[in-house]
Structure 1
Amino acid sequence: MELVFDGHNDVLLRLWRTMKGGGDPVAEFAKGTSQGHIDAPRAKIGGLAGGICAIYIPSGDLILKEPDANGHYETPLAAPLEYLSSLQIGMEKASIALRLEQAGAWRLCRNTADIRRAMADGVFAAVLHMEGCEPISADLAELDVFYAAGLRSLGPVWSRHNIFGHGVPFAYPMSPDTGPGLTDIGFELVKACNRLGILIDLAHITEKGFWDVAKTTDQPLIASHSNAHALTQVARNLTDKQMDAIKESRGLAGLNYAVTMLRPDARDNAATPLSDMIRHIDYMVERMGIDCVALGSDFDGATVPADIHDAAGNQKLVAALRDAGYASEDIAKLCRENWLRVLGEAWREKA
């Protein structure tokens, strides 16, 4: 079985909703459930040895637009969120992550040695991420607190605007060049992440924001769950020029399993063949090289191909990669080694 370290998932969102509904999020993850995509039993079946787990503050007003007669759609950006309620939700999700560690259900990892030890021990290796930084105020005071709790990755924005920058809408067909980039505070956030060794994730940010980060950061450029815009022209996908910059920085892009970002028609239809996943991987590998492509499933945050279904289905993608002619060494890079390399560089680990 090929072990997978996945660059993005929203399992904490699902577990938080379980908690809000009166359920036990730790038991749900540890013992398993029929809900969503990731829990410990299904992860083990599918070789999902770990991943970057997002603290994401949901936008209750976001309703995805239905495609028109031409298959086109443009969902208005969600409204900006209020700080204090975002901080409360962010703290609740961080608490769930810590409780999962205390229960032995997963292991919070703060360096790549932690990740490798957890994988060797057969324990889910979780890296704490913040997707959109609404729980962080303008003076960045909360950043050090979340870092102490294990935060090692963040995306300045989700697909909405905040005090740090601007996000892209869910829209097809559309360029990612949809608005301004980082704010002055956003530039300060990037510098703070460089200082602390927190990975900066370029998923969801506008193209201008992408270039703002690129000229400011000293890390590899990383888009944890974004595909090729040339193949699926949604605003969330990466242009060839962006991929060239990722290659130049020796960063990576993680294949997003979301069918709306894989299909040529960008429809939310689970009847999406694995060949669409391979098509995007092939394109990104051709453009950036095998060392700059990885996996970023968006499990528990999107509709994924029915053949994958959930974390237990990851080995079907591995088999499809083998059938497409990828060598064992290259599959290891795509499934985990590329992530471990860029994480070590962003976290300033010695080679």
Structure 2
Amino acid sequence: MPPSPAQSLIPVFDGHNDTLLQRVRHRSSDLDRDFFTASEVNHIDLPRARDGGLAGGLFAMFVPSQIGQDFSKPFDPRDPANYAPVDQTEALRFTVEMIGEAFRLERLSEGAVRVCRSAAEIREAMAAGALAVSLHIEGAEAIDAEFRALEALHALGLRSLGPVWSRQNIFAEGVPMRFNTSPDIGDGLTDTGKALVRACNDLRILIDLSHLNEKGFWDVAALSDAPLVASHSNVHAICPSARNLTDRQLDAIAESKGLVGLNFHVAFLREDGGHSRATPLDVLVRHTAYLVERLGEDHVGLGSDFDGCLLPAEIGDVTGLPRLIEAFRTAGFGETLIRKIAHENWLSVLERTQGS
């Protein structure tokens, strides 16, 4: 593999993408692409990651309610079938398939992709110019109530998880994809969900609060001894989507010395909750500035939702990251703050949660 042309860019460690899902879902279809060749399909492949300065991230493993769904068509948040329960055995099978894809990419990459099990391994991969892949579960349907699967997945490299996606499971209840709505919807953690928090603390698995409803958020805050982290959520005071965080939630994350990763999905950014790609970078900067003011400069990162969202046209795909970095500069963010947002804050919270 040739040296990365992105070495002169500010490296980005991103808190959320759905690339593994897209690769597994598109296998043997017209949308299947070689990860090591640049294309215009999806948001991330290795050449485009290098061009955009993406040095690593939490690579999510999400199990759709409709596993056979055609992902070439836009996700319809109004279709109740997209929120149906998922069988644990089937969810585990599909999750292992995504883990297998991560290790397959690592094997074929000749050292250019590394699956990392610690912040120290992430730093080593980034220093070597390799793409650092940290395995993350979005919605814990793959995990059984006795946590045997959790132990096995942890041994395979799982280092962070969100108990729910935007649907209910045995652990908790997720927030719907609704605009002009509070995240205070439904009940909090179940007894099994509370046990999951304790199990994750014992294994030093980061607990992701994105998608969790507000009562569940406060249950995690009361139980967990780790920093509170929302990997890909925005500011409810700017965009009142149920997926975004209220000021009170942001204050709790700040008190725990946790982190919020900025989500690039246009409907979680815009004041009108609209799905227009004509969403200027200034809107992302506004959310970021609000988060920095509320949380402090050490507790804000990026959580793009690449390969799982509708991006602003000015970003387009992972190669648009330098344009966002430049928008931060234009807004008066200093280089120290930009580096913290780009990668340093994520590595710090992973070290404090998972150990070095």
TM value normalised by structure 1: 0.93
The range that moved more, 286-295 or 219-228, is 286-295
CA distance in 2: counterparts of 1:277 and 1:89, whole angstroms? 33
State the Cα distance separating 1:33 from its structure 2 match.
2.4
Q: Where does the alignment leave 5 or more consecutive residues of structure 2 unmatched?
A: 1-8, 70-74
Change (3 A) 1:325 1:242: same
1:244 to 230, 242, 251: 251
CA distance in 1: counterparts of 2:18 and 2:274, whole angstroms? 21
State the Cα distance separating 1:292 from its structure 2 match.
1.1
SS at match of 2:305: coil
CA distance in 2: counterparts of 1:22 and 1:154, whole angstroms? 31
CA contact (8 A) 1:173 1:233 kept: yes
Q: What's the Cα RMSD here?
A: 1.6
Structural mapping, 1:180-191, within 5 Å: 180-191=187-198
Match of residue 39 from structure 1: 45
Matched, 1:121 2:128: yes
State the Cα distance separating 1:348 from its structure 2 match.
2.7
State the Cα distance separating 1:82 from its structure 2 match.
1.2
Match of residue 296 from structure 1: 303
CA contact (8 A) 1:77 1:159 kept: no
Match of residue 94 from structure 2: 89
Superposed CA offset, 1:77-115 (max 9, x none): 711111121111111111101111112251011111111
CA distance in 1: counterparts of 2:339 and 2:301, whole angstroms? 10
2:170 to 144, 159, 163: 163
CA distance in 1: counterparts of 2:76 and 2:313, whole angstroms? 23
CA distance in 1: counterparts of 2:284 and 2:100, whole angstroms? 34
Match of residue 139 from structure 1: 146
CA distance in 1: counterparts of 2:347 and 2:11, whole angstroms? 12
1:229 to 219, 226, 236: 236
State the Cα distance separating 1:18 from its structure 2 match.
2.1
Match of residue 69 from structure 1: none
Structural mapping, 1:253-268, within 5 Å: 253-268=260-275
Matched, 1:48 2:50: no
State the Cα distance separating 1:59 from its structure 2 match.
2.3
SS at match of 1:19: coil
CA distance in 2: counterparts of 1:180 and 1:24, whole angstroms? 40
Matched, 1:79 2:84: yes
Match of residue 58 from structure 1: 64
State the Cα distance separating 1:173 from its structure 2 match.
0.5
1:18 to 15, 21, 26: 26
CA contact (8 A) 1:165 1:186 kept: yes
The range that moved more, 84-93 or 231-240, is 84-93
Match of residue 354 from structure 2: 347
CA distance in 1: counterparts of 2:89 and 2:339, whole angstroms? 42
Matched letter for residue 335 of structure 1? A
1:2 to 10, 24, 28: 10
Superposed CA offset, 1:19-78 (max 9, x none): 2538866xx21223221101100000000111100010012287323xxxxxxxx97971
CA contact (8 A) 1:75 1:171 kept: no
1:312 to 319, 330, 338: 319
CA contact (8 A) 1:131 1:158 kept: yes
CA distance in 2: counterparts of 1:330 and 1:127, whole angstroms? 24
Superposed CA offset, 1:113-133 (max 9, x none): 111111111111010000001
SS at match of 1:98: helix
CA contact (8 A) 1:98 1:108 kept: yes
The range that moved more, 77-86 or 186-195, is 77-86
CA distance in 1: counterparts of 2:306 and 2:30, whole angstroms? 23
CA distance in 1: counterparts of 2:130 and 2:14, whole angstroms? 14
1:177 to 180, 184, 191: 184
SS at match of 2:350: helix
CA distance in 2: counterparts of 1:22 and 1:285, whole angstroms? 42
SS at match of 1:29: coil
CA contact (8 A) 2:20 2:60 kept: yes
Matched letter for residue 89 of structure 1? F
SS at match of 1:31: coil
Match of residue 101 from structure 1: 106
CA distance in 1: counterparts of 2:254 and 2:25, whole angstroms? 38
Change (3 A) 1:139 1:20: farther
TM value normalised by structure 2: 0.92
